[in-house]
Structure formats: C-alpha cells, structure tokens
Structure 1
Amino acid sequence: MSFWDTHYTDIPLVFDDYAFHKFDGLSDMVLRGTRLYVSTSRRFVRAFDLSGPQGFFKDITGQTPFPMLSRHDQRYDSSIAVKTSGEVLLVESDPRSRTWFRLYKKDPDVEDPDHACHTVTEVHSLGGEALLLDLGFTVPANKALGIKPDSIYFTRHFRPCHCSPRDLDICVYNLATKSLVRFPDLDKMNLMDARWFLPGN
C-alpha cells in the first residue's frame, strides 16, 4: 500500500511467511490524525504511526493483533471505526439500504482470537460521541455545531466507481432511538458524491 504523493514508504500488504498471513490483504482502513488503522482480509486490525519524518512509518500493532469478527461477518456490510480514545469498533449495516447499524467492540473474554469464530461483543452506545462513518472515526458531540451524541452520520449510496445509478442520500442514524433522518433538500443539488466531514479533519 502506498500513497499517491509517495510521502510515505510502501506499507506491505502481502507476506511470504505463513506466520504473517493474518496480515495479508486490505478490507478497510482509517486514518485518524497520524495513525493509520488497517483491517486485513481476515479482519485483523493493524495500526501504524505516521508521525515521524517523511517516508517513516512504525508498525504499532503489538504482539497480539486482534480480528474483528461478528456472528454475521459475511452477510452484512462491515467496516472499522476508531473512537477518540483509539479504540477500534466494527460497524455493520444492511448492505442494500443501510436502514440500521450494529456496533461491536473487542470482546475481552476471548482467550484465543486466532481460532475464534467471533471475537467481538455488541455495544449500543458511542459513549456520547458521534461517528462520521465516511471518515471512519468518532468526534465529540457538539450542540453548537449540531453534532448529536450516539449518532452515525453517513452517506447512503454506491460510490460512482461502482457504476451504479446515482442515488445519493445524506443521513443520520440515532443509536438510542434506532431512527433514521434524511436530508431530502440535497436531492435538488444533483450531486455526484458527498461525504460528512469536519473542518480540520
């Protein structure tokens, strides 16, 4: 994996040593500040520190990488998200219409994650934070900015590169009430693509 401006050295995604096959591939990644979180093909989460000089990266995954596997891993859309504390969550949603979400965190009771079928436990709150799903991380709720706690801000559509009909939908999902709010006024703008973001992120 490399960046277009070659600012960073390539980060390997394929390993010849069988012992490192759990680190092969890429299913999702999140950049939060100077840390890059990578979910591998087998859903193990790797972490890299990019805060050093140009071309520098440091693997800070640790000795016991953890896979993020739910009971429904193959049936629903899934991605990772990183909280302000650095905790990694697994996010699942309906692959067709994204009318609901489930969140999971690492299950501390799993003793052998390398051989476990599911390794996470469901959580029903973001601890008062809000998740910007398009960016893959949470931010503190902020009443002045209209950022509501325990809410997921996301774009519901297939990206243009998927060659699907354009059906852009900007939404907020509330975890407490399990309700979905759309912003239909954006339909009039005929946008090709859109993402939630905060200035400075």
Structure 2
Amino acid sequence: MSSGTEEATADDIFAGGDPLALFAGWMAEAEKSELNDPTAMALATVDRDGLPDVRMVLLKGVDERGFVFYTNLESAKGEELAATPKAALCFHWKSLRRQIRVRGAVVPVSEEEADAYFATRAKDSQIGAWASKQSRPLESRFALEKEVAKYAAKYALKKVDRPPYWSGFRIVPLQIEFWRDRPFRLHDRLVFKRAAEGQPWRTERLFP
C-alpha cells in the first residue's frame, strides 16, 4: 500500500492522490458521453432484517464532505438509512467502460441545504414531493393523480414549501474504488481508503 500520489503516477487515468478530484474528472467525461443521467448511481442500504436493498438515485452534489442525494425521509431508503446510517454507491458509465464504487457513513444534509436544493426543482416536482407517500401502498394511479391535483391547487399561486419529510443525505466516503475496462478482462482497479473523515487517503491496486 502506498500514498495516492506515488501509486497513481503509474497510469495517467488514475493521476493525482485526491479521489474526489479524480471523481470530478471522470464525471465530467461521463457528462459528455452518457446519453441519459450520467449522475445516476445505485444506492445500497440494509433493511431492519439485515437484507440488502438497492435502487437507482441521482447524485445532486459532491464536494470534500461527500456525495449528496435527496429523497422522502419516510420512504424505504429513508427509513433504512435512519436505522443504519451506512451506504454504498455505484456509478457505471457504459459509454466510458468505467465504474466507481463508494462506501461510507451517512449523515443528513442541513435544513439550509435541503431548502436551497428544493427551491431549484421544477414546480411539478415540488408538488410531486407533497403528493407521493413514497414506498407505501397505492390503491390506484387515480389516487396519486388526485393528490397531485390537490397540492397543485393549494400551491397554484404561491411558492411551494419543502415538505418536512423531504430532505437529503450525504455519504461520507471511507472507500472509493475506480475501475476501468481493459482487454481480456485484465481490468484496472485502484481503491482509495481512509480510517475516518479528515484522515489521509491511502491507495491500493487490486487484481481484476
């Protein structure tokens, strides 16, 4: 195992010792090449019975603190993260033949962050956040449309407030693995690890 700078110089695609800077570079390339949702990521959680659960969500922000997404806090993933605040992410960009995996602890975003992001959403999406009781049984599509109509009327002439049960989570990474496809399945894998937030990153290459 070595420092990120020493290890990454073996290949320009892994250049630099900062995994978040490397992520930003790969994401910029994906935004140019992926046809749909380059920010889509698989989010893995664990339920109260210890069973894994996974679904696709959209990355809405990333910086030195971690990776942010937003959801209904009363949804399955919201309740699972409240009970077990740990998660894993996986980005896969088929056009680039690259993948990034992230593992770490989960913390709520601040009220100010949630308000600021909610304000940028399209009004129909804001109304949808009020109308949908995410992950709970729905008797019919018509029942959902009735809820949408109710909140559309309520907020027809005014700003849509953020629902108290709608906010975001930040995955604070402790491990980030970069993978790229190579011929004959001899893929490149470089993993960054740290003991805790704020600690230095260490790198390790893995067999494919």
- TM-score of the two chains, using structure 1 as the length reference: 0.29
Report the structure number with the largest CA radius of gyration: 2
Q: Which has the higher contact order (CA 8 A, sep 6+)?
A: 2
- TM-score of the two chains, using structure 2 as the length reference: 0.28
Q: As a proportion of its length, which structure holds more helix?
A: 2
